[in-house]
Structure 1
Amino acid sequence: MNVLHVMPYIPSPTSGALVRDYNIIKQLSKKGIKSHLICNICSNKYMNDINLLEDQLNIKIHPLKTPYFSALYKMKIVIFDRMYPEVHRFNTIDNRNFISSLLSNNDFNIIHAQHSVEAEPTIQAALNSNFNGCKILTLHNVDHLNFIRQTDHQKNPLMKMARKRVSLRFKEHELDMIQKFDHLFVVSDIDKSVFMANGIPEDKIDIIPNGVDCSSFNISKFHGEDKLIHPNILFMGKLSYQPNIIGIKNYLKYIHPLIKNKISNIKLYIIGKECPDWLIKYSRTDDSVEVIGFVEDVKPYIFGSDVCIAPLTSGSGTRLKILEYMAMSKPVVSTTIGAEGLEVENNKNILIADIWNEFADRIIEVLNDKELATTIGNNSRKLVEDKYDWNKIAEKQANIYRKLINKY
């Protein structure tokens, strides 16, 4: 079986959606599925990673430079086209022709696009090259819902107006693109329900959840040194991603002061790339907050954490970081949206709170009750072993691939 994947980045074992594609493709290769990747990149600095990744994943990578859009040009797209600018940025003649050329010159059974921004160039390229194999789209979020939720939190009136302008058309675009693919992969039952409510047939959708490498994220196998101060709280996430920005702002404003009042020596550690200046400045004014920034390996920090948090009020899809916390047997306190799409059970394998003072109370409770922390952590480890290990997830995807090849 030969699969051509189209994605707006190069997969990586260290960050977000890139981790998902890295692990699934790695496992697919082990199962005998041959993968080629078209990776749209914004900078040549990523070129050095390609040879190493090809060896690690046993694949062939075809990089393509993505054009830069200035803020002014993005605003023109919003005003005149009422469209999310990234859709236009990836739907270029170069991208379409590049995909078409690979389809025409290779014998692929499946073309598999990742994210809504790669949907239109993939479909157009398949038409241009008369590709008669199966066309699959994976949506890591309900992108239009994610967009709407972020709009609700936008404080800048001009940005709020611009986002509202785009929201309806972006939703129409996303649903139209799904209709043009043969099959859709989503990450959770909630996402599946949203698309079904918008007219996508149930038999066209399969759930391929996010996961974690349970053999690597395993506290019983970790022998590193704990370098963190205790008691502590850990937050991880890309710090330029709007839902994470909103989440950490809310935590610092509404939750952390309540915890400091009860536990004076508490320490909050923040891990993530692209940290904004305001957060670095904030940490310099509050000794209880430390911004670690980007790290190659998050496992030592999860290992040293006492409780991990996901105070998110926007976003969509499912949070890989929660699965990583759970795989390391750590208690997690999250909002409902933070844990959305995961088959978790409040007070059994996670602690859920949506009111800020209750969120603070749950953190304080688990910090003061070691037995509760251990029970929640052990139950969460069992959950990810049963349902969210990458090997099991890739096996499910491979089986669906085989069925779809026979169908199309």
Structure 2
Amino acid sequence: MKILIISPFRVYPIHCGFSTRVYNLTKQLSYSNSVFLYYTDYNKKECNPDDCSFLPNVTKRNFKVSYKFMQLINPSLIFEAVSAIKKEKINIIIAEGIWAGPHAMILSFLTKVPYCFTEHNVEHVRWKRMGRKYPGLLRIFEKYCCKFSKKIFCMSNNDRQQISELGVDINKLTIAPNGIDTLQFRPRTSKKYDLARKLKLDVESPVILFFGNLSYTPNLQAVQIIYEKIIDSVLEAIPNVKFVIVGSNPPLQFQHEAMIFPGFVENIEDYINASDLVIAPLISGGGTKLKIIEAIACGKTVLTTSIGAEGLVDESTRYFLKVIDDWNDFINFIVDFLKNPIVNDLPSIFIEKYSWKSIGEIISKEISMY
């Protein structure tokens, strides 16, 4: 089968949940299909030569753009994609996120090749929670991206329900959740000593980890909550605790002697494995959180909010995912857990559900009819 995947953002180097998903599922689909990946790149930094060598089994085309709107409508991408669709006899187009929707709809109209649509988040819900402008207009745009697609891949039952409320036929919606690289994200207890040495910490100091792109509003809000509502109360009970906040664009306005900002790291799995507890005090955003899945895959307990846990509460996560919305109760859980840690074995059902291989098989099965 020949598949054209369209991404409105740079895919590699992997820098966020979006690129993690597109990279890994493109890789999975390329094992048994001919895959073409066309993506726009608004990143102002020049690519390293190695950046263009990723996914060697995939035919890639990077369209550098000077204006953000060209991520939505790019004449060069449309022209070259039409040519590739006709020449290669491509069977199906996969649009990654609603920002790839216009390209997919135009290409499908011009070539009569059907397209599928990946809802990384239910975007109009996410925008509304974040207080961004015009969520109503975005809702209309999202509805039409879904309406003309043959199949929609969403991350959870919760997302499936929210998308169906747009008037989309629920039978078009298939759950293909976010996942993890099971070789990269796995329990490794020795990393505690490595991190203590690297960050010059006492190995006996409990480590609480939060990670993500720190310029993204929901993650920035979470850091502010840690700084304003959580850290001092935890320190009163456990004076040697350290909060390690990992991610690009660290908000250094939140300076505290017990907060450490290593910045962006290549090996986040080592930081997860070195931590005693992972927290995600999120109050906005949408979709399922890769950071939570990755932490659980390393055998870590994750403390989060109802928004953070959306779409992730089920039998496979029940012993690892703790959901608390009251900040006093949130603090009490942290203190109790650090004083009396609980270690559980990761159930096989979790790996079966969240491995990229399993998710790739779901997508392959759904698109095989085209």
Task: With the length of structure 2 as denominator, give the TM-score of the two structures.
Answer: 0.91
Candidates 257, 273, 278, aligned match of 2:248: 273
Distance in 1, Cα, partners of 2:190 & 2:157 = 33
- Residue 227 of structure 2 corresponds to which residue in structure 1? 252
Q: Could you tell me how far apart the structure 2 residues matched to 1:107 and 1:188 are? A: 32
1:317 equivalent to 2:316? Answer: no
Q: Is the CA contact 2:304–2:324 (under 8 Å) kept in the aligned structure 1?
A: yes
Take 1:222 and 1:109, find their aligned partners in 2: how far apart are those partners? 47
Query: Where do 1:9-408 residues align within 5 Å?
Result: 9-12=9-12, 13=14, 15-30=16-31, 32-42=32-42, 43=44, 45-46=46-47, 48-55=49-56, 58-69=57-68, 89-128=71-110, 131-151=111-131, 163-164=132-133, 166-220=134-188, 225-228=193-196, 229=201, 230-275=205-250, 279-283=251-255, 286-344=256-314, 348-370=319-341, 372=342, 374-375=343-344, 378-379=345-346, 382-403=348-369, 405=370
Letter in 2 for 1:241: Y
Equivalent-residue separation in structure 2 for 1:236 and 1:175 (angstroms): 32
C-alpha separation in 2, matches of 1:254 and 1:64: 44
Matched position secondary structure for 1:282? coil
Q: Partner amino acid for 1:232?
A: V
In structure 2, how many angstroms separate the alpha carbons of the residues matched to 1:223 and 1:292?
16
Contact 2:313 2:321 in 1 (8 A): no
Q: Identity percentage over the alignment?
A: 28
Instruction: Compare 224-233 and 394-403 and name the one that shifted more.
Output: 224-233
Give 1:50 shift.
Answer: 4.3
Unmatched runs of 5 consecutive residues or more in structure 1: 70-85, 152-162
Instruction: Report Cα offsets for 1:217-264 as digits up to 9, x if no partner.
Output: 112597785323421100010111111111211221111121111111
Residue-by-residue CA offset, 1:247-294 (whole Å, 9 max, x unaligned): 21122111112111111111000111122xxx22433xx110000110
Structure 2 unaligned regions, length at least 5: none
Q: In structure 2, how many angstroms separate the alpha carbons of the residues matched to 1:186 and 1:202?
A: 11
> What is the alpha-carbon distance in structure 2 between the residues aligned to residue 89 and residue 320 of structure 1?
24
In the superposition, relative to structure 1, how do residues 224 and 248 fare at CA in structure 2: closer, same or farther (>3 Å)? closer
Going by fraction, where is helix more abundant, 1 or 2? 1
The separation in 1 between residues aligned to 2:178 and 2:45, in whole angstroms, is 28
Alpha-carbon offset, residue 133 of structure 1? 2.8
1:124-157 deviations in whole A, cap 9, x for unaligned?
A: 12222xx233311101000000000000xxxxxx
Inter-CA distance 224–102: structure 2 relative to 1 (3 Å threshold): farther
Q: How many Å apart are 1:401 and its aligned residue?
A: 1.4
Residues 100, 126 of structure 1: 8 Å contact kept: no
State the alpha-carbon separation in 2 of the partners of residues 290 and 109 from structure 1: 49
Computed over aligned residues only, the root mean square deviation of the Cα atoms, in angstroms, reads: 2.1
CA distance in structure 2 between the aligned counterparts of 1:241 and 1:211, rounded to whole angstroms: 21
- Whether contact under 8 Å (2:210, 2:279) holds in the other structure is yes
Q: Is the 8 A contact 2:91 2:114 kept in 1?
A: yes
* CA drift at 1:187: 0.8
Contact 1:99 1:122 in 2 (8 A): no
Distance 1:383 1:34, change over 3 A: same
Change (3 A) 1:339 1:2: same
TM-score where L is the length of structure 1 = 0.83
The alignment covers a number of residue pairs equal to 360
